[in-house]
Every structure is written in structure tokens, then in C-alpha cells.
Amino acid sequence: MWVARIRHGIRRAPVLIFALAVLVVTAAGAFHTPAFAQEESRGWSLRDLLFPRRSERIEPPVEVQPRPKPKKKPKPRPPAQPETPIVEKTNDARVVLVVGDFLASGLAEGLDTAFADNPAVRIVARSNGSSGFVRDDVYNWPAQIKTLIETEKPAAVIVMLGSNDRQQMKVGDVREQPRSENWTKEYERRTDALGKAIQDTKVPFLWVGMPAFGLSKMNSDMLAFNDIYHSVAQSHGGEFVDVWDGFVDENGAFVTSGPDINGQPVRLRSDDGINVTKAGKRKLAFYTEKPLAKILGLAAPGSITTVSAPTGAPVEAPKPAAAPIIVDRTAPMLLGDPALDGGTELLGATQPARADPNLPGEKLILEGKAPAASPGRADDFSWPPKSQPATAAVESDPMPATP
């Protein structure tokens, strides 16, 4: 009996196997990507008979072309500054001596660029970067200026000093605080000593003031220093050059960048708010060019015309002045008063015809006399009213009167 059951089971085995395969396929279709991943990770299965694996599918490779990178627009380059030709100085070139601290050395570089094409002017810098009026033990400018002037024999002296003076000053045996009363008196005395020492040499000089700085407290001190420098320069025959407006905005605030001598926006100061850039040095020199050219007798800053001809050179006779040009100008004329032009009438006017003065209208205009009013007219104010002529009554009332 059990043998018969085994035979019956063997006969039904293909049916069971087929049903099992259908169940496997249905279950595989219910799962998508995760099922594929699991089947691929395992070995061979019955599902491979009906659905080949993705790895076995042969698909043409897809070429992915890289996207072209957008072209960057080239940044506009600042206009190249024209190179100033360097001209060899003549042996008798006039010397301009620049003295002071580190700002004075920058001013000297700017002046050297400004007068690079002038063989008759040579800029000589004798600055001390850490010097000032407070630390006279480091460098004493009133005592050293005469020696420098005798050595260089300059035609003009330019002073720019004071950026290192915001510190304590030793007055006698006491160290005074900056801008205190005793400090200010001693500071004025030392600056006055420098101005007097230059005046004794009888060399014209310019005193360039301090520019604005990045610290507001420092700016207030520099404005006070500039007032002292201005007073000293005027009292000793010098000229004060104010450069403050060149390094602030329209509101008077410090700026790092601003217009250069050509009006182009450039960087004038460094990040510390104290030092000046190359454009800033040139701008310092720009404020000094005109008064310096006036002292040297130049026609204009950068002119190659010298004041005196070199030794042995022929001197040209001055040309006679041209005769002045006489311009015949017509005096202005008012329309309400033609007499200013020399006449009594406007152009094109004609004499009006003379009217009869006996006419009623002329009497009213000239003499102010009105003609007698006609009886019954609106301007007839006589009382009792005058009777109107019969003809006038008929003309005014054409209807016949009722009895």
C-alpha cells in the first residue's frame, strides 16, 4: 500500500515543481530592486530561466559627454599707467631737500616721480623714519637741519614731520602726557625752533601737514598738530601745505581708497591705516608741486624750463610783447530804457502820427478832461435829467405810445 502511495507521489512531483516555480516567479515580481540585488548576490535560481539577470543583459554603452564649462568673462584690467621717462639730471640741477619721518620719505618718492622728466630739479631725501619732535634723543631736527642744508645746498626745503609724536614727552624730569598743557607748550617750542633754524639759513621752505589716519583719536591729534605747524610756517616765512582733504571723503572721514591725481579710484593707504601706497605718495606730492614750482620759478610742475641758463650758454633776448587787441564792444541795452544804447528809440521804430489835441479822446488822454455827456446816456449825471430830442426818443423806442 505504501508502495502505491510512493508511486502516486512520484507522479504528482512535476505538478508540485511547476506550482513551486510559479510561486517563486510571482514572489520575484513583487520585489523590484531589492529582490534583484538579493538574487544577484545568491547563486543560480529557477528564476533565471524566465528572467535573465541584469548583469547578463548586453546593452550598448552610453557615452556621457562632459558639459562644457561656462567661459568666465575676463576681468577688466586697470589702465596701465604710462611710464614716466627718467631724464638724467644736469650738474647744476636745483636741489629740493625733503626732511622728516617715514611719511616724508614717501613724499620724496612722489616728488621724484613728479619731476622725473625735469633735468633741472633733483629731489634729495634726508628722512628718519622713527624721528619726531618728542624723541629728540633719537634725532634732534632743530640741531641737525643747518648741517643738512649746508651739505646739500638746496634751493628749497620741505618738512613733513609729526606722525610719531603721539607719545609721552620728557619735560625736565617729568614725563608729560600727550596734548597736556606742559606737553603742548614744549611741543610748540621745539617746532618753533625748527622753523627758526630754517629761516636763519634764508632758504625758502614748505611745511606739509599730516594726512588723516585710520584711528579717530589719532586724527584729532593730527588736526591739532597741523594747527601748530601752520602757525610756525607762517611766523618764519614758510608756507603750509594742507593735504588733509586728499585722504578723506566728503564727510571728512578717513578713506583707504580714493581718487588719484587723475581722478581714478585707487588704493591710497595700506591696511594699517597709517602707511601710504605708491598712489598715495604721488598724491602727497601733487599737493606740493604747485607751491614748490612757485619757489623754484618753474612755469608749471614738471616743466623742463630752468630759471637760469647754464654757464656759457647764450642767453636769448626777451621777445617784445604783442600789441593788445582792441575789441569794440557794444554796451548792454535794456528794453525798458533804450537811451543806454545812445538812441531814444528801439530798432525799427517809427515816429507815431501827431493827433489833433482838440479831439475829445485826445483831451481825455493828454489833459484828463472828459467830453460832455450826451443827455440820457449812462454817464449823464445831471439833475434834473435833461430831456432827450424827439428823434432820439423815436429811434430808441420804435413802438407808438399809447394814448
Q: Tell if the pTM clears 0.95, that is, is over it.
A: no
| Strand, coil or helix: 252 | coil
DSSP state of 246: G
The mean pLDDT value for 11-32 works out to 61
Query: How big is the chain, counted in residues?
Result: 403
Q: Are 121 and 93 in contact (CB under 8 A)?
A: yes
Considering only 23-32, 73-82, 321-330, 389-398, which range has the smallest mean pLDDT? 389-398
Q: Which residue has the higher pLDDT, 375 or 259?
A: 259
- Cell 407808438 sits at which residue? 400
Q: Is the pLDDT of residue 37 over 50?
A: no
DSSP state of 57: -
Q: What is the residue extent of each domain of the chain?
A: 8-50, 94-296
- φ, ψ of residue 169 to 5 degrees: the values are -120, 135
Q: Which residue has the higher pLDDT, 235 or 24?
A: 235
Q: Enumerate helices (H) and strands (E) in the chain, giving the number of each.
A: 10, 9
Considering only 31-40, 73-82, 294-303, which range has the smallest mean pLDDT? 31-40
Q: Is the pLDDT of residue 106 over 80?
A: yes
Considering only 57-61, 236-240, 350-354, which range has the smallest mean pLDDT? 57-61
For 295, the grid coordinates are 619757489
Question: pLDDT of 311-337, one tens digit each?
Answer: 444 445 555 555 566 655 655 555 555
Q: What confidence category does residue 156 fall into, taking pLDDT thresholds of 50, 70 and 90?
A: very high
Q: Residue 246's pLDDT is what? A: 94
For 32, the grid coordinates are 523590484
Q: Are 199 and 232 in contact (CB under 8 A)?
A: no
Closest CA to 119 of 100, 156, 83, 92: 92
Q: Are 215 and 273 in contact (CB under 8 A)?
A: yes
Q: Which residue has the higher pLDDT, 362 or 236?
A: 236
Q: What confidence category does residue 392 fall into, taking pLDDT thresholds of 50, 70 and 90?
A: very low
Q: Are 78 and 72 in contact (CB under 8 A)?
A: no
Closest CA to 121 of 137, 141, 105, 98: 98
List of residues 6+ apart from 76 with CB closer than 8 A:
none
- CB half-sphere exposure, 297, CA atoms < 13 A: 8
Most confidently modeled range among 56-60, 87-91, 140-144 = 140-144
For 80, the grid coordinates are 596701465
The mean pLDDT value for 263-272 works out to 93
Most confidently modeled range among 203-212, 364-373, 387-396 = 203-212
Q: Is the pLDDT of residue 60 over 90?
A: no
| Strand, coil or helix: 127 | strand
Q: Are 163 and 103 in contact (CB under 8 A)?
A: yes
The mean pLDDT value for 215-220 works out to 89
Q: Are 124 and 115 in contact (CB under 8 A)?
A: no
Q: Residue 70's pLDDT is what? A: 72
DSSP state of 243: -
Q: Are 167 and 134 in contact (CB under 8 A)?
A: yes
Percent of the chain past pLDDT 90, that is, above it, reads: 47
The mean pLDDT value for 172-180 works out to 91
Q: Which residue has the higher pLDDT, 289 or 30?
A: 289
User: Does domain 94-296 correspond to CATH entry 3.10.580.10?
Assistant: no
